[in-house]
Amino acid sequence: MGNVDGQDVLKPVKRILLKVSGECFCPPNERGVSMDSVNRLATQIANVAKMGVQVAVVMGGGNILRGAQFKASDGASSIQEATAHYMGMLATIMNGSALHDALEAQGQPTRLMTAIKMDVVAEPYIRRRALRHLEKGRVVILAGGMGTPFVTTDTAAAQRALELDVDYLFKATKVDGVYSADPNKDPNAVFYPNLTFEEAITQNLRVMDQEAFAKCHDHGMPIMVFNYRKEGNLERAARGEHIGTIIR
């Protein structure tokens, strides 16, 4: 890492995988899809693609539905938990469709690929095809998670980051990075600009779900966690500025 104007500079960023949670698709504390939020996200992604950085985006779906809402132990629900997880995956495809249109409306060539085959809506996810799209400067939206229940889209993000051989997994969140505690609840929460995987594990810091984190740890995939609500943050990160928290 070098240093310019007091900012850490990371290795050149040529290809990233951006994990966007469902919460990026609507205003704070709301649910569903707000095209205002989607357009803002699309502008940031398009700006990064225009810089020549290859961008794959893994969709979350929590703004619509999470499978764990329908636990089998919840007697009130007649929806099986596995079914609910499939519903959650479909939610990520709805978000992906919205982002696809928003990016194309801004003139950014984009492909939507799904882990659940849905030919009339999107291309199936095929690793080599996704790589070709990226090489041609198309933003690749990856929806439907892994296509299997009982995992989250964090796991899909880690898996696809490794498969697509990206330089960084960017995790867009609503806080500035990783803290010792939830900064919205604990005023004494300490912010960590840098962490090793081991530090995050020993201090029990929740960066992503455990399965996703273990995948990144095992294969040395660096993670950058930053606040997507701060205008320009995604572009700064893609330029190689050290914003938020870096775990490596």
Q: Which residues pair with 168 in a beta bridge?
A: 16
Distance in Å, CB of 119 to ligand UDP, minimum = 19
Query: Binding residue for ligand UDP (CB under 6 A) from 13, 49, 53, 89?
Result: 89
The one-letter amino acid at 23: E
CB of 95 or CB of 241, closer to ligand UDP: 95
Sketch the per residue contact string, 61 through 80, with ligand UDP: x for CB under 6 A, - otherwise: xx---xxx------------
Residue 171 lies near ligand UDP (rule: CB under 6 A): no
For 115-139, what is the HEC assignment?
A: CCCCCCCCEECCHHHHHHHHHCCCE
Residue 21 lies near ligand UDP (rule: CB under 6 A): yes
Query: Binding residue for ligand UDP (CB under 6 A) from 98, 112, 145, 217?
Result: 145
Q: Which helix (H) or strand (E) holds 9?
A: strand 7-9
Residue 96 lies near ligand UDP (rule: CB under 6 A): no
**Structure tokens, 21:** 């949670």
CB of 10 or CB of 224, closer to ligand UDP: 224
CB of 102 or CB of 212, closer to ligand UDP: 212
Distance in Å, CB of 23 to ligand UDP, minimum = 6
The span of 40-48, 54-62, 102-110, 190-198 binding ligand UDP (CB under 6 A) equals 54-62
Distance in Å, CB of 248 to ligand UDP, minimum = 22
Residue 113 lies near ligand UDP (rule: CB under 6 A): no
CB of 92 or CB of 97, closer to ligand UDP: 92
Burial class of residue 53 in the structure, from the number of CB atoms within 10 Å of its CB (0-12 exposed, 13-18 middle, 19+ buried) = buried
Question: What is the C-alpha end-to-end distance of the chain, expressed in Å?
Answer: 12
For 74-95, what is the HEC assignment?
A: CCCCCCCHHHHHHHHHHHHHHH
Q: Are 145 and 89 in contact (CB under 8 A)?
A: yes
3-class DSSP assignment, residue 104:
helix
